[in-house]
Amino acid sequence: MTKLFDLDQWSEILQTVTRNKSRSLLTAFGVFWGIFMLVFLMGGGEGLKRFMAQNFAGLAQNSCFLMPGTTSKAYKGFQSGREWSLKNADVDRIRRAVPAVETVTPMAACWGRTFSYGDQQSRGTLKGVRADYADIEEPHLTHGRFLTDTDERDSRKVCVIGKRVYEELFPDVDNPCGRYVEVDGVYYQVVGVSKMTSNIGIMGSAEQSVMIPFRTLQRLYHRGDDVQAIGFTARRGTTVTSIQADVERVVRQAHLLAPDDGQALHVFNLETLFQMIDNLFRGIETLVWLIGVGTLLSGAIGVSNIMMVTVRERTGEIGIRRAIGARPSSILWQVMAESIVLTVIAGLAGITFAVALLSGVEHIVAAQGETISFQVSFGLALGAAAALAVLGGLAGLAPSMRALSIRPIDAIRDE
């Protein structure tokens, strides 16, 4: 039986590989390029997926938002082009009419506001939200607390500030809770600091916002009972998409909007958006595997063809070895081992280069202030290395069988 770890045999295999340098390099490049493309594209795809996930960080995937628009159709005595507003009462209407709804919360905002603390200033959005808004967008507090029902009931002048507002107003303050931020001549006591980083921008960027109780904003800015947006989530086991039509119907009936007027009521369904993104990345992942595996197979075919040429050139040598008593298993293992060595060395070089390049991409992204990993998992790298060994063995199978079919007498005659 052929010894797998026979050093003399492995030395002979390596000498054969290095003797045909140009041919070996050409063969190895196909495998190198294939595994490099597979690992690099997989790492890039995972990094892009993590980047997109970071943009949605903290947002409930089963949430939806309603915003009033301008009617485009006449309905029940009202002309088209009518402007209307959501009301506080719509929150209770939706909660009573659609039992599958879990959280329903109103929202309001004042954009382009200047926030001040001493000589420091920051610009952003003043948001009015209730305590249950945390069920839709997780605040990720670093200091203090979020708004409470008591803050809402008493119309307190308290606020939770976003990450960038905190950095710009309190650069030298570890915990700003208890201090006061001035907005439009009104002072709000800071009760919490949020590190929400979602870039979806529901009523404004989370990082550049100051959140105050919803009722406080309505009263201070004379909004009456007008609501700029209503967010809602579905109960466990129910999808937002399945109850969206029921919620829309409640609002349209209350405000006399045509059922088929798409301009009158704007709906932003995050569940649908998440599904679209998931499908997109599944498609990207499938495409990456097709490209990588296709390139690897072409490289393996190249290895097999080169090994066939090598066997043909070594016909005399193989015939003489057979004539002096070399076992068929020895001939078979030598040809397959040469194929495996070429494939594995080239593949590992491709994996190493891809990982190094992905590391460079991480540093470039980090320089832009983002912390995102573009690396593939260790398990994937090990799996790729094992697949390369198998692929190399398969690539050397046909040349090995060709070598075994050589008759010693024919080989010597040809020589």
- For the chain, the straight-line distance linking the first and the last C-alpha, in angstroms and rounded, comes to 29
More confident residue, 135 or 340: 135
Highest mean pLDDT among 79-83, 298-302, 364-368: 79-83
Asked if residue 380 lies in contact with residue 343, where contact means CB atoms within 8 angstroms, the answer is no
Asked if residue 226 lies in contact with residue 84, where contact means CB atoms within 8 angstroms, the answer is no
Other CB atoms closer than 10 Å to residue 107's CB: what's the count?
A: 24
Other CB atoms closer than 10 Å to residue 348's CB: what's the count?
A: 17
Asked if residue 396 lies in contact with residue 338, where contact means CB atoms within 8 angstroms, the answer is yes
Q: Where are the alpha helices (DSSP H) in 175-269?
A: 214-220, 240-254
Q: What rounded mean pLDDT belongs to the chain?
A: 82
pLDDT of residue 15: 52
Kindly tell me if the per-residue pLDDT of 143 is higher than 50: yes
Kindly tell me if the per-residue pLDDT of 26 is higher than 80: no
Given phi > 0 = left and psi -120 to 50 = alpha, else beta, which region is 118?
Answer: left
Sequence length of the chain is 415
| Percent of the chain residues past pLDDT 90, beyond the cut | 43
Report which DSSP code applies to 250.
H
Handedness of CA 248, 249, 253, 258 (dihedral sign): positive
pLDDT of residue 125: 94
Given pLDDT bands bounded at 50, 70 and 90, which one contains residue 3?
very low
More confident residue, 355 or 216: 216
pLDDT tens for 39-56 read 888 888 777 777 776 766
Q: In Å, how far are 42, 94, 115, 304 from 289, measured between CA atoms?
A: 8, 46, 50, 22
More confident residue, 20 or 233: 233
Closest by CA to 306, choosing from 278, 341, 271, 276, is: 341
pLDDT of residue 200: 67
- Look up the pTM and report it: 0.71
Domain positions in the chain are: 7-56+275-414, 85-254
Run of H or E including 399: helix 397-404
